[in-house]
């Protein structure tokens, strides 16, 4: 092969690579300020990373400055809460790495909060998180202890010892930006109040405008969700972003058309189209009945939480939501992706948002 041919091939390859992304052209209508992208690494703690990112944006929105909050301090708190629940239910409860967005805010109220710089959950020379062995060890210990006829008051102390070994000990007091705190007083200083936030969903097996406990495995704490129509769920997100509020998103990313590498989450009418990730095309129409069927046959499951931070349009004027993920700076958009409204309608399990971000008419309906 001569040098000219090599140059032509290189140029052609460059053009083709560019074309793979140049056809999907996004125009951001509104994007909420966020902190840097992080990675949950080999853990099932997306709920903590997504909600911590959400709270960090809330603090920015409220003019309280930029914070880097510890996800693993909250994860540790929830492990302890799950352990107590598991033991009281005599091993007949969920004990895993997963949880939901409302659990982070609950954890702030139960155990406080920490800055990332003072509690990273990494010890010794660790540079990445991996909770596979930790989860197995904690679960095995709880199962062993629960076989006894009576529980001593020492099982929880030993449980804390395992958490110390894998995540590090928690300081009783610490200095941060020239002030002295405990985890509890630091959480209080943030001013995040659980009663100012609401979890919303949309399913037809419960009455609209009522509270119900969403039937998903990671809802171990039996958190309530307010049920609204699918159109109202979309309207709430749009209203929130327009007013400067971001949201914590919980949903399904198991679809083949959720592509972090391309930075896209789409629901195409023709999923086998050759130019699927090159040229925008027609998407499925999603109504409440189709959504419900997918939830009940487990095609849509609660498998990931992310941070919804904006609205955009592609070159055809189709709406997308801007999503911040917790898999590090992966993909074409360095940790962010664009989720079509169709994908949102089908694959959203629930959202967490500040109550002030709700449209007035929806607030009125759920308060009646």
Of all residues in the chain, what percent carry a pLDDT higher than 90? 90
Q: Is the pLDDT of residue 10 over 90?
A: no
Indicate the average pLDDT of the chain.
93
In a shared domain, residues 248 and 262: yes
- Domain assignment present for residue 21? The answer is no
Q: Determine, yes or no, domain membership for 275.
A: yes
Name the E strands within the chain. Answer: 27-31, 174-176, 179-181, 197-201, 211-213, 224-227, 247-251, 258-259, 264-265, 304-313, 319-324, 336-340, 348-354
Domain encompassing residue 305: 193-368
For residue 184, the surrounding DSSP H or E stretch is helix 183-190
For residue 1, being part of any structural domain is answered with no
CA separation for the pair 267, 246 (Å, rounded): 23
- Write down the pLDDT at residue 83: 96
Same domain, 81 and 211: no
pLDDT at 19 over 50: no
Please tell me whether residues 46 and 169 are part of one structural domain.
yes
User: Residues 64, 119: one domain?
Assistant: yes
Same domain, 73 and 61: yes
Residue 29 domain-assigned (yes or no): no
- Please tell me whether residues 161 and 212 are part of one structural domain: no
Last residue of a domain, one of 192, 211, 230: 192
Regarding predicted confidence, which is higher, 13 or 266?
A: 266
Q: Is residue 246 located within the same domain as residue 173?
A: no
pLDDT at 280: 94
- Domain check: are 207 and 336 in the same one? yes
52 and 158 in a single domain? The answer is: yes
Residues 6 or more apart in contact with residue 325 via CB below 8 angstroms: 37, 260, 306, 307, 331, 335, 336, 337
pLDDT of residue 166: 97
Q: What is the DSSP letter of 17?
A: H
Residue 28 lies in a domain: no
Q: 223 and 350: one domain?
A: yes
Token pair belonging to 365: 């309906």
Give the range among 37-51, 138-152, 238-252 with minimum mean pLDDT.
138-152
**With bands split at pLDDT 50, 70 and 90, how would you rate the model's confidence at 148?**
confident
pLDDT of 30 reads 97
Instruction: Please tell me the predicted confidence (pLDDT) of residue 22.
Output: 41
pLDDT at 105: 96
Report the pLDDT value the prediction gives residue 9, as an integer from 0 to 100.
Answer: 39
* Axis crossing angle, helix 230-242 with helix 360-367, rounded to the nearest 10: 130
* Helix ranges, 282-357 (H): 288-296, 341-347
- Band of the pLDDT at 368, cuts 50, 70, 90? confident
**How high is the pLDDT of residue 149?**
76
Task: Confirm if 349 and 296 have CB atoms less than 8 A apart.
Answer: no
On whether both 252 and 292 belong to a single domain, the answer is yes
Mean pLDDT, range 345-349, rounded to an integer: 98
Residue 335 DSSP symbol: T
pLDDT of 15: 36
Last residue of a domain, one of 173, 192, 211: 192
- pLDDT tens for residues 33-91? 999 999 999 999 999 999 999 999 999 999 999 999 999 999 999 999 999 999 999 99
274 and 298, same structural domain?
A: yes
The C-alpha atoms of residue 229 and residue 204 are separated, in whole angstroms, by 8
What pLDDT digit, counting tens, does each position of 161-217 carry?
Answer: 999 999 999 999 999 999 999 999 999 999 999 999 999 999 999 999 999 999 999
Secondary structure letter of residue 260 according to DSSP: T
Write down the pLDDT at residue 339.
98
Residue 160 lies in a domain: yes
Residue 76 has φ and ψ, to the nearest 5°, of: -60, -45
pTM, 2 dp: 0.92
Q: In CATH, what number is assigned to the domain containing residue 230? A: 3.90.70.10
Nearest to 248 by CA among 307, 326, 311: 307
pLDDT attached to residue 231: 98
pLDDT tens, residue by residue, 97-121: 999 999 999 999 999 999 999 999 9
- Count structural domains, the chain: 2
pLDDT confidence band for 317 (50 / 70 / 90): very high
Please tell me the predicted confidence (pLDDT) of residue 54: 98
Question: Pick from 162, 192, 222: which residue ends a domain?
Answer: 192
Percent of the chain with pLDDT over 70: 94
Cβ neighbour number for residue 229 with a 10 Å cutoff: 15
């Amino acid at each position: 092969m001569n040098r000219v041919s090599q140059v032509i091939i290189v140029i052609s390859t460059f053009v083709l690579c560019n074309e793979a992304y140049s056809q999907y052209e996004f125009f951001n209508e509104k994007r909420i300020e966020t902190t840097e992208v992080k990675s949950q690494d080999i853990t099932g703690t997306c709920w903590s990373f997504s909600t911590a990112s959400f709270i960090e944006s809330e603090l920015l929105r409220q003019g309280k400055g930029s914070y880097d909050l510890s996800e693993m301090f909250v994860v540790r708190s929830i492990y302890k809460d799950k352990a107590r629940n598991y033991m009281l239910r005599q091993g007949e409860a969920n004990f895993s790495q997963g949880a939901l967005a409302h659990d982070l805010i609950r954890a702030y109220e139960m155990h406080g909060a920490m800055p990332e710089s003072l509690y990273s959950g990494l010890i010794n020379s660790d540079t990445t998180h991996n909770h596979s062995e930790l989860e197995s060890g904690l679960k095995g210990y709880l199962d062993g202890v629960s076989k006894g006829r009576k529980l001593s008051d020492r099982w929880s102390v030993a449980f804390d010892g395992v958490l110390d070994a894998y995540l590090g000990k928690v300081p009783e007091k610490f200095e941060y930006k020239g002030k002295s705190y405990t985890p509890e007083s630091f959480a209080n200083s943030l001013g995040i109040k659980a009663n100012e936030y609401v979890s919303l969903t949309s399913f037809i097996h419960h009455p609209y405008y009522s509270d119900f406990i969403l039937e998903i495995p990671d809802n171990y704490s039996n958190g309530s969700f307010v049920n609204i129509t699918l159109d109202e769920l979309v309207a709430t997100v749009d209203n929130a972003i327009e007013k400067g509020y971001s949201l914590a998103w919980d949903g399904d990313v198991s679809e083949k058309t959720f592509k972090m590498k391309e930075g896209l989450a789409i629901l195409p009418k023709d999923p086998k189209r050759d130019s699927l990730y090159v040229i925008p095309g027609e998407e499925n129409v999603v109504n409440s009945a189709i959504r419900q069927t997918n939830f009940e046959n487990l095609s849509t499951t609660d498998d990931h939480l992310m941070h919804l931070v904006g609205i955009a349009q592609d070159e055809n004027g189709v709406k997308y939501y801007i999503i911040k993920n917790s898999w590090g700076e992966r993909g074409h958009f360095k940790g962010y992706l664009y989720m079509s409204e169709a994908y949102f309608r089908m694959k959203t399990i629930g959202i967490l948002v500040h109550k002030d971000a709700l449209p007035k008419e929806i607030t009125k309906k759920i308060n009646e």
